[in-house]
A and B are shown apart, each in its own frame.
Chain A
Amino acid sequence: MNRRAGLAAGVAAGGLGVAAVVVLRRRGILGGNLRLSRGLAALQLVARGGARYASNAPRLFAAAGEHRQQLRNDLALETAEDVATTLGAMKGVLMKLGQMASYIDDGLSPSVRRTLSRLQDSVPPMSPELAAQVVAEELGGPPEQVFARWDPEPIAAASIGQVHRAITHDGRAVAVKVQYPGIAETIAADLGNVALLRRMLRITAPSQDVDALLAELRERILEELDYRREAENQRLFADYYRGHPTICVPGIVDELSTRRVVTSELADGARFAEMAGWSQSERDLAAETIYRFVFRSLYELHAFNGDPHPGNYLFHGGGRVTFLDFGLVRRFTAAELEPLMQMARYLCVEHDPEEFRRNLVKAGFLRADAPLSTEQVIEHMAVFYDTVRESRPLTMTGDYSSAVVRRFFDVRSPVTTYAQIPRSYVILQRINLGLFGLLGELTATANWRAIAEEIWPFVLGPPTTPIGEAEVPWRQTRAPTPRPAPGG
């Protein structure tokens, strides 16, 4: 037993929420810039578990379908009061905090992770009557009327709701996510009294502007309680990829989506675990589609889905992949993306280290006055670009994603002292933690550089793979991406 003396229970009780907050804070999801400095070591200690990263993306919250066996209908919540009892007293807040933190990185200690996961498991589904009541309140009629067919048994648990299958009157099979009644109010009430969180944060992060942090935390969580935002994100992706040969995003049924109900087309396919047993060529194709999805979304849609964990994909063979769950999407402005593009451009295409560094500073990743040679900077940062520096087939491995993550958290490097994570880019760490981890698990091989060149707005190269060829008609229906101004 390596547990510390004290009531620790693996994690300090109050530290539970705070560990999550600190992770969010550390990753800059909350608050402004947080320098990646020696202080990071202390913070990592708080959110124990620091820099141990498996190639697996975090599995704290199971995605649709995975909780099937654990749905305890015999304990179903029957009233909004039951919901308040089950998720009040900070429990709903802790769940949201943990979920947000898990989207961002693996920095939660195993005991915090276990506790949050058990907390999630401890929430029973709604009784069919209670779910029907929410549907009626939101959509104006009982589910049996609003839908042509309605399955009263939920097929999956969501963090603050559950998913039902239904068929619309125009014959579409849909997944209907229904939010627990009163959960938004319960969580808002807990967030209205931040004395406890404030005290905890003062202990764990004494130098931070705790009140600003709390205000932002509150705003973010309350935002997540509104399903309309998630629907809007999913609609953005679904519209953009409509007609794409391998990328499928279930469409949102607008007239059946509200603050507490979101209805999307029902998708079915192989789960990640099943697909991982397919032939290597199938796995390569699936990996290529996921890669294209991430970078096309980033560079063309200026949007990034921050939750690339394995539960959020369905696989159909031939490289066709359905993308699920758009609860955490970050939209970027062109100005925010510009330096990122220039960094890739100057490091990988133009081979101009000084310009690379200039854009690094411009983006806020490196302090302008850092007393470092540009070689040192390149040496430190280049690992993030290893897959796209040369045009040749390359196999992703778990080792690579681990190396990237280790580098990111390497507090001993002299560069780290002067590096920071600008808040707007923090979610992109999910590329390192999630995407590369996923591709590594598939031991996927491709010429990633060639694919990147197809997508990079400063190259817009010709198709280099069969999927790239198949994309051409779809691409022609999309407005051309404006080229960035040269020089950034």
Chain B
Amino acid sequence: MTAEPYATAAGLVERSAAAYVSGVPEQPADDGFFGPASVTWRMSGDLGGPIAGLRSLLMQALHPLAMAGVDQHSGWREDPVGRLAATSGYVTTVSFGERAAAERAAARVRRIHTRVNGVDPITGRRYDATDPALLLWVHAALVESALAVRQAFGTALSDTDADRYVAEMVVAAELVGVPVAIVPASVAELDRYMESVRPELRRTPAASESMAYLLDPPGLDEEVAEIWQDIRYGAVVSLPDWAREMYGYQAPPLTPGRREEIRQVLGVLDAVFLGEPGVLEARQRIGARVRAARTA
């Protein structure tokens, strides 16, 4: 069954690139919520972004209420690429934008969330996108995915830096309306939190359907479809075993050769991303500030 109600994945790279470029300010008034000395900024050069993004969506979708909110309210079937680009643009703005820009973007998200509520047809439970518990799940899945993918395919962060990263990210949760007190601020807290949520997680039909689209988006060129297999594999293989089992996905073990192959794919994708207008300059803006902070 083809994903008839969904639009094709055309333009993902171009639109993601445009969203990224607009999220990195040219003459910032301040260093934003993280700044050039942060682990967050230093991690920005990592190639694992596409896999981390896909993996965090796979994780987030396992929460029936979070999934129901997306399923029933987001127009993502009509414009999945636009939705993905908007999300990555949001993450970029919060990470690298000035404080005012990050706050504006967050306020917009919070405003949209006030309209997202209803009943999940599977569990019969009410959901509300302003619910801190749901927002925290979405946040934690993103942070945990960034670490897991970096661990699997990049250069793993030191324990100290990993803790710092989780702690830095607390403010991102706060921006969308999660009380600071309940946001994990270390890797250990994050792990405990992920564990605590597990009983609530399950694969709903909506999750299966949306993720099937993401794992095999229609309309890809043959070469890209080939490459997408690696992105998909990377996201699936780096999932916790329990999450993979919930979906019923199979993933052959990650051999060193396979890992290298995926790193190469990420490098090629990154090169393509660099070819989009303004991406190199945006990277250089970040890089120069990181460098200046390092030598200061």
> Which of A's residues lie within 8 Å of B, judged by CB?
3-18, 72, 74-75, 85, 88-91, 94, 111, 114-116, 118-119, 121-122, 190, 193, 195-196, 199-200, 203-204
Among B45, B220, B223, contact of A85 (Cβ-Cβ < 8 Å):
B45
Judge if B75 is at the interface, Cβ distance under 8 Å.
Answer: no
**Pairwise interchain contact A13-B272, C-beta atoms closer than 8 A:** yes
A204 to B269, CA, bound (A): 18
A18 to B267, CA, bound (A): 14
A88 to B154, CA, bound (A): 11
- Which residues of chain A are within 8 angstroms of B9 by Cβ–Cβ distance? 6-7
Known: A89-B267, A118-B274, A199-B226. 5 other contacts (CB 8 A): A5-B8, A90-B264, A122-B274, A190-B260, A200-B223
Among B8, B11, B223, contact of A13 (Cβ-Cβ < 8 Å):
B223
**Pairwise interchain contact B223-A18, C-beta atoms closer than 8 A:** yes
**Pairwise interchain contact A94-B223, C-beta atoms closer than 8 A:** no
- Which residues of chain B are within 8 angstroms of A193 by Cβ–Cβ distance? 257, 260-261, 264
**Pairwise interchain contact B291-A75, C-beta atoms closer than 8 A:** yes
**Pairwise interchain contact A9-B13, C-beta atoms closer than 8 A:** yes
**Pairwise interchain contact B224-A6, C-beta atoms closer than 8 A:** yes
Among A3, A16, A190, contact of B271 (Cβ-Cβ < 8 Å):
A16
A461 to B33, CA, bound (A): 77
Give, as a whole number of angstroms, the nearest-CB distance from A19 to chain B.
9
Among A4, A94, A203, A204, contact of B268 (Cβ-Cβ < 8 Å):
A94
11 A–B contacts from the bound complex (CB under 8 Å) = A6-B9, A11-B272, A12-B227, A17-B268, A72-B288, A88-B263, A89-B267, A89-B268, A116-B271, A118-B271, A119-B271
Among B219, B223, B258, contact of A14 (Cβ-Cβ < 8 Å):
B223
A20 to B101, CA, bound (A): 41
Judge if B114 is at the interface, Cβ distance under 8 Å.
Answer: no
Give, as a whole number of angstroms, the nearest-CB distance from B234 to chain A.
13
**Pairwise interchain contact A195-B261, C-beta atoms closer than 8 A:** yes
Binary interface encoding of chain B residues 270-296 relative to chain A, with 1 for a CB under 8 A from any of its CBs, else 0 = 111111100110011001100110000
Within 8 A of A (CB), among B162-186: none
Among B226, B266, B272, contact of A89 (Cβ-Cβ < 8 Å):
B266
Among B223, B275, B287, contact of A111 (Cβ-Cβ < 8 Å):
B275
**Pairwise interchain contact B267-A13, C-beta atoms closer than 8 A:** no
Among A10, A200, A204, contact of B275 (Cβ-Cβ < 8 Å):
A10
Judge if B222 is at the interface, Cβ distance under 8 Å.
Answer: yes
Judge if B70 is at the interface, Cβ distance under 8 Å.
Answer: no
Give, as a whole number of angstroms, the nearest-CB distance from B250 to chain A.
20
Closest to A189 in B: B260
- Which residues of chain B are within 8 angstroms of A8 by Cβ–Cβ distance? 10, 13, 221, 224
> Which of B's residues lie within 8 Å of A, judged by CB?
8-14, 45, 47, 217, 219-224, 226-228, 230, 257-258, 260-261, 263-276, 279-280, 283-284, 287-288, 291-292
* Interface core residue of B8, B221, B222, B284 (most chain A CB under 10 Å): B221
- Which residues of chain B are within 8 angstroms of A115 by Cβ–Cβ distance? 271-272, 274-275
**Pairwise interchain contact B227-A88, C-beta atoms closer than 8 A:** no
**Pairwise interchain contact A190-B264, C-beta atoms closer than 8 A:** yes
Give, as a whole number of angstroms, the nearest-CB distance from A3 to chain B.
8
* Interface core residue of A88, A111, A114, A118 (most chain B CB under 10 Å): A118
Among A6, A15, A90, A203, contact of B219 (Cβ-Cβ < 8 Å):
A6
A122 to B271, CA, bound (A): 9
Number of A-B contacts (CB under 8 A): 135
- Which residues of chain A are within 8 angstroms of B260 by Cβ–Cβ distance? 190, 193, 195
Asked whether A89 and B224 contact (CB < 8 A) given A5-B8, A7-B12, A75-B291, the answer is no
**Pairwise interchain contact B226-A203, C-beta atoms closer than 8 A:** yes
Closest to A85 in B: B45
**Pairwise interchain contact A6-B270, C-beta atoms closer than 8 A:** no
Give, as a whole number of angstroms, the nearest-CB distance from A195 to chain B.
5
A15 to B225, CA, bound (A): 11
**Pairwise interchain contact A16-B272, C-beta atoms closer than 8 A:** yes
* Interface core residue of A9, A85, A195 (most chain B CB under 10 Å): A9
- Which residues of chain A are within 8 angstroms of B283 by Cβ–Cβ distance? 122
- Which residues of chain A are within 8 angstroms of B217 by Cβ–Cβ distance? 7
A14 to B268, CA, bound (A): 6
- Which residues of chain A are within 8 angstroms of B288 by Cβ–Cβ distance? 72, 74-75
A487 to B263, CA, bound (A): 56
Give, as a whole number of angstroms, the nearest-CB distance from A192 to chain B.
8
Give, as a whole number of angstroms, the nearest-CB distance from A118 to chain B.
5
A27 to B224, CA, bound (A): 24
**Pairwise interchain contact B221-A196, C-beta atoms closer than 8 A:** no
**Pairwise interchain contact A74-B292, C-beta atoms closer than 8 A:** yes
Asked whether A75 and B284 contact (CB < 8 A) given A90-B267, A195-B261, the answer is yes
Asked whether A119 and B220 contact (CB < 8 A) given A7-B10, A74-B291, A75-B287, the answer is no
**Pairwise interchain contact A196-B264, C-beta atoms closer than 8 A:** yes
Closest to B8 in A: A5
- Which residues of chain A are within 8 angstroms of B219 by Cβ–Cβ distance? 5-6
Q: 6 tightest A-B contacts by CB?
A: A89-B267, A115-B275, A12-B223, A9-B13, A90-B267, A15-B223
Give, as a whole number of angstroms, the nearest-CB distance from B214 to chain A.
12
- Which residues of chain A are within 8 angstroms of B47 by Cβ–Cβ distance? 89
Asked whether A90 and B271 contact (CB < 8 A) given A121-B280, A122-B283, the answer is yes
A7 to B80, CA, bound (A): 12
Among B222, B258, B266, B273, contact of A12 (Cβ-Cβ < 8 Å):
B222
A10 to B11, CA, bound (A): 9
* Interface core residue of A13, A14, A72 (most chain B CB under 10 Å): A13
Give, as a whole number of angstroms, the nearest-CB distance from A96 to chain B.
13
**Pairwise interchain contact B270-A89, C-beta atoms closer than 8 A:** yes
Give, as a whole number of angstroms, the nearest-CB distance from A20 to chain B.
11
Asked whether A14 and B291 contact (CB < 8 A) given A90-B267, A122-B283, the answer is no
Closest to B46 in A: A85
Closest to B290 in A: A75
Asked whether A91 and B223 contact (CB < 8 A) given A9-B272, A10-B275, A193-B260, the answer is no
A7 to B276, CA, bound (A): 13
A88 to B155, CA, bound (A): 12
- Which residues of chain A are within 8 angstroms of B227 by Cβ–Cβ distance? 12-14
Give, as a whole number of angstroms, the nearest-CB distance from B171 to chain A.
27
Asked whether A6 and B10 contact (CB < 8 A) given A115-B272, A115-B274, A118-B275, the answer is yes
Closest to B265 in A: A196
A15 to B222, CA, bound (A): 9
A229 to B140, CA, bound (A): 54
- Which residues of chain A are within 8 angstroms of B268 by Cβ–Cβ distance? 13-14, 16-17, 89-90, 94, 196
Give, as a whole number of angstroms, the nearest-CB distance from A460 to chain B.
50
A119 to B11, CA, bound (A): 20
**Pairwise interchain contact B272-A91, C-beta atoms closer than 8 A:** no
**Pairwise interchain contact A195-B223, C-beta atoms closer than 8 A:** no
Give, as a whole number of angstroms, the nearest-CB distance from A283 to chain B.
35
**Pairwise interchain contact A119-B261, C-beta atoms closer than 8 A:** no
**Pairwise interchain contact A14-B275, C-beta atoms closer than 8 A:** no
Give, as a whole number of angstroms, the nearest-CB distance from B95 to chain A.
19
